[in-house]
Structure 1
Amino acid sequence: MMPSNPKQYYQRFWAGHAGKLHFRAHSHHFWPDISREAQIAYWDECAKLGDDKWDKIFSETIPRTQNHIASILRLADARQIALAPNTHELSTRLLSLFLGRKSLNILTTTNEFHSWRRQFFRLMEIPNITIHQVDANNFPHDRDAFLRAMRTELAKHYDLVYLSQVFFDSGAALTDSEIVSLVAVTPESTLFAIDGYHGFAALPCCLTKLEGKVFYLGGGYKYGQGGEGVGFMVVPKGDWRPAYTGWYAEYAKLSGPTGQTVGYANDAMAFMGSTQDPSGFYRFNAVWDLFNAEGIGIPGIHDYVAGLQKTFLENLPRHFMRNWSLTPLFDPALVWHGHFLTFEASSLDLAERCLQTLNSHDILIDRRGARLRFGFGLYQDKADVMALCQRLQKLVG
């Protein structure tokens, strides 16, 4: 059962933001205080074990992280979860499966996250790589048109599909059933990857029907609340041999004889890389150990955040959107939406001026292009939302 005051878990971060209203949960979520204890515990463990720490990390720490992720996503096999410092490393490793192919055809959308968009724009410079983008700019207002366009394209042959669960520049979200329906019309030979970063540990997500059929990427930096270094990818079972590889991918045979044949683990570890800072796994585990002990689950978190969002919309000053020429990119009913609300300004200049005005009054939000994002999280309460609305009221007069 959700505690009445989850804000209590975040006292150190609030102390670091005294006087400020932090509504960037979608960018840098506050970390629970217990994550600091986990960071120190990791350092102490290194001091005690030295190089022997890796055996403990691979036998205890990483499986705990995988189990927490599997529980959140309702997956049966936690071993099919690869870990990395970030999701871009994993998506690049996924792309490396196609290295040496005469051609590569990718289907994605116009509204994918910065790293992936930058990556596929660079790939488009290579003659034998073709990338088709389905326009998702209007998805917040006409999801049916977007889904029809996706189904039309999916009927064609693509080698790889890369699609967001929650779009980073609007917060508009695909439902589990919508994703299942898209995967159902995708040829079996096509690899289907879902960018779940803005959905993981925020929206109640059940991958049970998709397990073994899709790659799902997410991490701990946002709603996972463990900070940097906990990128993950759910991997279907298979004999995967990504060309971009490192020693983690065959850790179990590290002490064996070496040769010219490159071996891989027979599970998701085939997609793991090389030496990284594993402290994020310790922070992530500590947070979700705490939440499990306190009865805090994803449905409860989502309901709590949805309540904050509704309080915000009910008390948002009437003239705020009109004064800044802002258009909401969400259904006011918030039937199924990510944990941030986005308003689109009529120009980049106006969006930047609005952002700077809010930040100068210690209202911390961010923007992507002309779109302003207000993020909500477990570390806030209704008093924070009301304080936000009161400051906005003073700005509009």
Structure 2
Amino acid sequence: MDTKSLFSRALALAPGRLHFAAHSHHLWPDAAFDAQTRAWEDANRHADRKWDLIFGEIIPEAQSHVAAELGLPDPASVVFSPNTHDFLLRLVSGVARKPVRILSTDGEFHSFRRQAQRWEEAGEAVVTRVPLHPFETFDARFVAAARAGEFDLILVSQVFFRTGQTFGAVEALAELADPAGPWVVIDGYHGFMAAPTDLSRVADRVFYLAGGYKYAMSGEGCCFLHAPPGYCPRPVATGWFAEFGDLEGPPGGVGYRADGGRFWGATFDVTPLYRFNAVRRMLAETGLTTADMARHARGLMTTFQAAVSDGRAGRLGQAELINPIADADGPRARFLALRHAEAGVWQKALTAANVVTDVRDDVIRFGFGPYQDPADVARLIAACAETLS
């Protein structure tokens, strides 16, 4: 089907723009506009009784969508927050040993990178970082480090945000997970709804963090955590929403829910959940799956990758393609990452030509999604050839 038609409002607002940053700020489909309106109407129609609707219908629907996408056995293991940083704070607060011993990488997103550095400065954590490079041996090196060390928390990305490379040893880490430690946390922000993800074999042992800003097409504020039962039962950083439900805990102490609700924070804007639910309903109605969208993006990426390697996309051919498409079916990022010393210069030049990409240090990234078609890729190739000549 013509998936671009699902984004008619967003595309009409900037008709001359080539938006190839679907891995960064993903454009919102028309269904999200209608959901935004419904959230306003519900808030004013129900007023003081709004939260009955939110916890009775909106949140359970969103939980069911996440569970279905990830193969989770129990939607109640899913809890929402405006950002994943909230969940990092709550998780680490629940580790009894101080300083917290953390194993991670040198390629994690800034919310963890910055916070981990500050924890180290304050003497609250000791962080071991396994280098991504050389990536050919990364999975084996990371799992070996996890097996060799005595860690309280192990955190690694499903898809690395800067390079687009993927981690393929989640099950090996799950074998090490234990309620007494270590706790295994997968940052799935660049994996959720970018590539089919099945956590059914590890859902009882692995935390999974992600959100709707990117491939879930739902904008900011729609982040979630899947929390395996028995792990981090009483986070010290806790919000009053965690008081609702069947509570467990010591007599006279602070009670917590046994499901994912033990990680609830406090009052937040639920409009993003309306958008997320609407997008998921839209996909179901049109018969589009994550696999379909990944296949579509892969086709567009293959065309662009060939143009880069053949020298038809200007000076991009001089860059190192960090995450090339190497096979037809394997899980991968929905963006191509190219490393070059002039990546920042190229990104600025393309921006001036109304081509939206983004840059991280010396890596320029081109993201692909359902609101692009082969004609858009042809225009992108021509724009790169002209602008980066």
TM interval, short-chain normalised: over 0.9
Q: What SS class does the counterpart of residue 83 from structure 1 fall into? A: strand
Q: Percent identity?
A: 36
- Structure-2 separation of matches of 1:14 and 1:206: 32
Q: What SS class does the counterpart of residue 390 from structure 1 fall into? A: helix
Q: What per-residue deviation string (whole Å, max 9, x for no partner) do you get for residues 72-102 of structure 1?
A: 111111000111111111111111102x633
Answer whether contact 1:321 1:327 (CA < 8 A) is retained. no
Q: What per-residue deviation string (whole Å, max 9, x for no partner) do you get for residues 132-182 of structure 1?
A: 00001432xx1xx1122112211121000000000000111123xx21123
Answer whether contact 1:240 1:270 (CA < 8 A) is retained. yes
Structure 2 partner of 1:339:
334
- Structure-1 separation of matches of 2:316 and 2:241: 54
2:124 aligned with 1:131: no
Please, what TM-score do these two structures have when normalized by structure 2?
0.93
Cα deviation for residue 319 of structure 1 reads 5.9
Structure 2 partner of 1:7:
4
Structure 1 partner of 2:46:
49
Equivalent position to 1:247, from 213, 228, 240: 240
Structure 1 partner of 2:306:
314
Answer whether contact 1:151 1:185 (CA < 8 A) is retained. no
- Structure-1 separation of matches of 2:56 and 2:72: 20
Equivalent position to 2:74, from 54, 73, 77: 77
Answer whether contact 1:110 1:137 (CA < 8 A) is retained. no
Shift of the 362–128 alpha-carbon distance from structure 1 to 2, 3 Å rule, reads closer
Cα deviation for residue 184 of structure 1 reads 2.3
What one-letter code is carried by the residue in structure 2 that aligns with 1:336?
P
Equivalent position to 1:110, from 79, 102, 106: 106
Where do 5+ consecutive residues of structure 1 fail to align?
A: none
Answer whether contact 1:163 1:195 (CA < 8 A) is retained. yes
Answer whether contact 2:152 2:182 (CA < 8 A) is retained. yes
Structure 1 partner of 2:171:
180
Matches within 5 A, 1:1-397: 4-98=1-95, 101-127=97-123, 129-139=125-135, 142=136, 145-155=137-147, 156-175=149-168, 178-185=169-176, 189-238=181-230, 240-252=233-245, 261-316=253-308, 318=311, 320=313, 322=315, 325-334=318-327, 335-345=330-340, 347=341, 350-397=342-389
Cα deviation for residue 323 of structure 1 reads 6.4
Answer whether contact 1:93 1:243 (CA < 8 A) is retained. yes
Comparing 372-381 with 186-195, which one deviates more in the overlay? 186-195
What one-letter code is carried by the residue in structure 2 that aligns with 1:184?
E
- Structure-2 separation of matches of 1:68 and 1:323: 39
Q: What SS class does the counterpart of residue 108 from structure 1 fall into? A: strand
Runs of 4+ more than 3 Å apart: 185-188, 319-325
Where do 5+ consecutive residues of structure 2 fail to align?
A: none
What one-letter code is carried by the residue in structure 2 that aligns with 1:107?
L
Cα deviation for residue 330 of structure 1 reads 1.4
Cα deviation for residue 129 of structure 1 reads 2.2
Q: What SS class does the counterpart of residue 65 from structure 1 fall into? A: helix
Answer whether contact 1:83 1:231 (CA < 8 A) is retained. yes
Shift of the 114–321 alpha-carbon distance from structure 1 to 2, 3 Å rule, reads farther
What one-letter code is carried by the residue in structure 2 that aligns with 1:42?
A
- Structure-1 separation of matches of 2:326 and 2:124: 45
Cα deviation for residue 245 of structure 1 reads 0.7
Cα deviation for residue 298 of structure 1 reads 1.2
Cα deviation for residue 125 of structure 1 reads 1.0
Shift of the 321–161 alpha-carbon distance from structure 1 to 2, 3 Å rule, reads farther
What one-letter code is carried by the residue in structure 1 that aligns with 2:338?
F
Q: What SS class does the counterpart of residue 10 from structure 2 fall into? A: helix
Please, what TM-score do these two structures have when normalized by structure 1?
0.91
